[in-house]
Chain A
């Protein structure tokens, strides 16, 4: 998603253009090369035009219409957008979606600690690394199903374990106060291994000489962490924050499986869940597309901000 960051090495293109110029004799050969190259990239270009660009254009137009998906599209101008900003449900869904993102900093802090722990010479670290990564590769649908049951107030794993410590847990997913935290906890559990892995790779890339020099200067472990590890893993933190926000803005599967009705009093509904519902349950395709366009703009804005900050800090991690 955000791999776009510091790509665009302009050198190759310039070199090939320069090489194409001298010597008119090779011109025909180059034309044939152009044709072959175009044929090779044709598939992704066609795919992009057909399944990304055209749908975007269509979405923008559909967002200006009243439409049930089957019948004619009636142009209504910005009416859907006006409705959207007065739609209490959309506001709640947006609030919930941002609320879920509170899990991002918690997850990142935990995974950094985990990566530091796994960076030590301890027995079984490969096994640990694999175990913490298992939830990442597991099917989200299956995970959501088992966690939904685990959050059951009477028979769920969570409350059964809490009972050992004398805690009488709530009925997590039926309670407006606990349903969002419950989903956050699950999401952290699921994503921990991924960010841990990226942090671990970054930490292992830090030159040992930096730590040795700091140790000679008498820096203690905390100081070494603050002034070496933390700045060195910043690009990864940045990458993870942005990708997590983009992914978080599209949270759907766990909501739809764990709380099929959007939770008590709509308290777990996310934006994509609401779009899905409006489009495919109530056939309000025009209005749903409006929300989808707003979501797309939101993600686009986040990506742009990333580009800006990326350029300012001049990260070069190649």
Chain B
């Protein structure tokens, strides 16, 4: 594209190589058009299931099974989004998911940040052994330890409460510790030493100096963690039996079984749509931060 602008400036150079470059530019532009069209079709394929989810929610139960298919319901049954609150424990599901995700991410971020500070900037014997030990925890797949954990928590009578989903995660998240530690390693030691000479305690240094510094890194990891917990399905179905105590993902999964026999697909789709809406909104707002921190995850791998 840039070469088109250069053309009048160098008329005598308009020999074969220049022409070839012009040709390449035109080819490039044609290529971009084709790529754009392919990407547009691809986007449609990416969004189609979600759009279909939404339109199905607006259909009547009969329209769902109509042949030929009804693509845009007329009139749209907005009522589905109203009746679902009374026909299924969606409100309690949202509440429970929020309680779990917020408690875990808020408390867990603080414990992770404290640990990252100690591991990056403080003197501690066997510090790296500790860090490596914690990292090995990442190699353990959750299904391997889920049965022993379940037994532990059932002995504490925590089954059918949110506690088994919250308590283990309050102790910090090693992925977050890893990234915060990485982030802190660029902070010069002299800054912390100076604060110590000024008589600041370690907690004060953490609160007044470290926290403000690592806030962007925490925010990025916080969002990713929140989304992961909000979307979690395996551990909640192990523990939560009473419908009113279930998190949103379990609620919609059970609706899927229960209401499918009544062929109430609009309700299932409406509830599922509501289940992914909050994260979708968070994503649209923090798109740039999320995308950047995810890209970082890969490059640090």
The listed residue (B120, B131, B252, B284) touching A142 by CB distance below 8 A is B252
0/1 string, B118-162, CB within 8 A of A gives 1: 111011110110111111111111111111111110100000000
- Chain A contact-residue range equals 35 or more
Q: Judge whether B143 and A275 touch: CB under 8 Å.
A: yes
Q: Judge whether B49 and A198 touch: CB under 8 Å.
A: no
Q: Judge whether A55 and B145 touch: CB under 8 Å.
A: yes
Q: Judge whether B32 and A121 touch: CB under 8 Å.
A: yes
Chain B residue nearest to A61 (CB atoms) is: B148
Q: Judge whether B123 and A299 touch: CB under 8 Å.
A: no
Q: What are the residues of chain B within 8 A of A133 when measuring CB–CB?
A: 283, 291
Q: Judge whether A139 and B276 touch: CB under 8 Å.
A: yes
Q: Judge whether A257 and B253 touch: CB under 8 Å.
A: yes
Whole-angstrom distance between the Cβ of A318 and the nearest chain B Cβ: 7
The listed residue (A4, A51, A129, A149) touching B145 by CB distance below 8 A is A51
**Sorted from nearest, which 7 A-B pairs have the closest CB atoms?**
A47-B171, A198-B298, A296-B144, A40-B118, A201-B295, A55-B148, A55-B145
> A139 and B275 in contact (CB under 8 A), knowing A43-B171, A146-B53?
yes
Q: Chain A binding site: helix, strand, loop or mixed by DSSP? A: helix
Chain A residue nearest to B127 (CB atoms) is: A13
Q: How far is the CA of A133 from the CA of B154 in the complex (A)?
A: 38
B residues in contact (CB < 8 Å) with A:
1, 31-32, 35-36, 38-39, 42-43, 45-50, 52-53, 56, 64-65, 67, 69, 111-112, 114-115, 117-120, 122-125, 127-128, 130-152, 154, 168, 170-172, 174-175, 177-178, 185, 202-203, 206, 227, 230-231, 233-234, 237-238, 249-250, 252-253, 256-257, 265, 268-269, 272-273, 275-276, 279-280, 283-284, 287, 290-291, 294-301
Does A288 have its Cβ within 8 Å of any Cβ on chain B? yes
Q: How far is the CA of A58 from the CA of B149 in the complex (A)?
A: 9
Whole-angstrom distance between the Cβ of B73 and the nearest chain A Cβ: 14
Q: Judge whether A4 and B135 touch: CB under 8 Å.
A: yes
0/1 string, A28-58, CB within 8 A of B gives 1: 0010011011101101111110111011101
Q: List 16 A-B contacts (CB under 8 A).
A: A4-B135, A33-B123, A37-B202, A51-B149, A56-B145, A134-B50, A145-B272, A146-B50, A149-B56, A155-B64, A189-B45, A257-B233, A260-B257, A280-B238, A292-B144, A295-B144
Q: How far is the CA of A2 from the CA of B141 in the complex (A)?
A: 12
Q: How far is the CA of A36 from the CA of B210 in the complex (A)?
A: 15
Q: Judge whether A289 and B147 touch: CB under 8 Å.
A: yes
Q: Judge whether B233 and A10 touch: CB under 8 Å.
A: no
> A145 and B142 in contact (CB under 8 A), knowing A37-B118, A139-B249, A239-B298?
no
0/1 string, A292-318, CB within 8 A of B gives 1: 110110011001000000000000011
Chain B residue nearest to A186 (CB atoms) is: B49
> A12 and B120 in contact (CB under 8 A), knowing A4-B139, A56-B145?
yes
